[in-house]
Structure 1
């Protein structure tokens, strides 16, 4: 481990006046590099700060703070996750995405506001969330109920019926072609799909393949959600 850290920090064993100090504990690893007695590098790696962004959890609402417009959700970490009311509302598509109507999603949408969230997710209720920001210091991770999974050419949104195309694809004929492809994809009801910028110029079969892959991945997540209890 020492040689690995030396390599990472660029510390040569021939160099004099340098000192590497390591402190390894169960949940934390600290590395300090001293040059001629002066602290030059310091790094802390915590087990709880591993990259969990994008991970999906079944959580349980522990308490609701109306003043903060937020809920605190137990997803199995030392600190409860922070879920703002706005992150629990079905999200509209980003301004960089042109929304495309599909035959299956023309039904009227029920409008949900921040005021509805405490009644939708009362204390003790289960909620499926995705981490958008990992834990920092004394704060738990930040989460959203608007799940998304990125493939090569598509982004799958399991709890949305909105679909669209990246506005970075500018050529009108290409946009028309992609609109047609998007409308013809066999997308299950209640799921949204976005064609990414890298989808420009790609054949229809690549989108079909990417959608199949993402739906298979989501099916695996759904099965785990059903089988595993909330904390």
Structure 2
């Protein structure tokens, strides 16, 4: 499978498109006026603690207070052992968290990270379990876990990476998760990135100690930087960028973290727009429409709400193939067609 990343950067918006065998599979958009905060870390102030729903509202300086559930607090690893032990006949029980009111109080300052953007009348979702993502690993300063991405399936390689992770991680310094792109990475590279993330965490703590809540203490990477950091690997044939400035930034970053990939970073030049050249302009417009027509003749209707995104699948004028039309086959074919379109 041939995979490519297309990046179109303009002053008022940035677009990132993922292609598989020249077909559009994902679109990402970012505008400066959207004030994207997912991944950002704030020094917040607890406005209310609600034992009834085991949650709290934390003022982080946004229009609506952040929602913090009991499951997103930091607990001592030993404090939950009894709750996680097996129940009758050794069956594992559902995890039960200590009462939230025993751990935080109104007016308390708390370091939190945004995990979900605000939508409608709801504020952002936040967690106290802060993590700092790098290219090769994710650093979790409040955890003691050492993990390896599930996408790395080889057992021998997983065991090897886990041993390296434990080796580079000083005692009582947090936890880390080895990311998928680290499958063939050396111990030296992992250690270098860990030290860089640890240093970043030190700066976050220093910033939080010098400010009063609510205040932003760390901003997550913007869309393009995040995509290159998180997705770009040897599994992609190329990254094509239509902005000289962004191209130079990406190239310098790739040279510093994964120099063998630098020849896959390309600057798009010429009069024809990047998305038009690769035939994805019209597909992008279709992806943002409320009603999307399917190749089979059916259609889907997408309705975003505060609680969920509703997708209605309709067979439309598609009634099946051949003289003997089977309703079950018609529904199955329409649903398969819809599933491919919804995944975009």
Per the alignment, in what secondary structure is the counterpart of residue 127 of structure 1?
A: strand
Q: Residue 74 of structure 2 contacts residue 142 of structure 2 at CA under 8 Å; is this kept in 1? A: no
C-alpha displacement of 1:224: 0.5
Q: Which runs of 5+ in 1 are unaligned?
A: 9-44, 92-107
> What is residue 157 of structure 2 aligned with on the other side?
174
C-alpha displacement of 1:128: 0.9
Of residues 69, 79, 86, the one that matches 1:110 is 79
TM-score by length of 1: 0.68
Cα-Cα RMSD: 2.6
Of residues 180, 183, 186, the one that matches 2:169 is 186
2:120 aligned with 1:137 = yes
C-alpha displacement of 1:89: 4.7
> What is residue 42 of structure 1 aligned with on the other side?
none
Q: Residue 68 of structure 2 contacts residue 127 of structure 2 at CA under 8 Å; is this kept in 1? A: yes
Matches for 1:177-216 after TM superposition, within 5 Å: 177-216=160-199
> What is residue 152 of structure 1 aligned with on the other side?
135
TM-score by length of 2: 0.46
C-alpha displacement of 1:90: 4.5
Determine the C-alpha separation between the residues in 2 that align with 1:141 and 1:190: 29
C-alpha displacement of 1:188: 4.8
C-alpha displacement of 1:53: 0.3
Per the alignment, in what secondary structure is the counterpart of residue 60 of structure 1?
A: strand
Determine the C-alpha separation between the residues in 2 that align with 1:219 and 1:156: 12
Q: Residue 38 of structure 2 contacts residue 117 of structure 2 at CA under 8 Å; is this kept in 1? A: yes
C-alpha displacement of 1:172: 2.8
2:53 aligned with 1:68 = yes
Per the alignment, in what secondary structure is the counterpart of residue 52 of structure 2?
A: coil
Q: Residue 90 of structure 1 contacts residue 160 of structure 1 at CA under 8 Å; is this kept in 2? A: no
> What is residue 163 of structure 1 aligned with on the other side?
146
> What is residue 67 of structure 2 aligned with on the other side?
82
Q: Which has the higher helix share?
A: 2
Q: Which runs of 5+ in 2 are unaligned?
A: 1-10, 16-30, 82-95, 215-344
Determine the C-alpha separation between the residues in 2 that align with 1:90 and 1:121: 11
2:112 aligned with 1:124 = no
Q: Residue 169 of structure 2 contacts residue 175 of structure 2 at CA under 8 Å; is this kept in 1? A: no
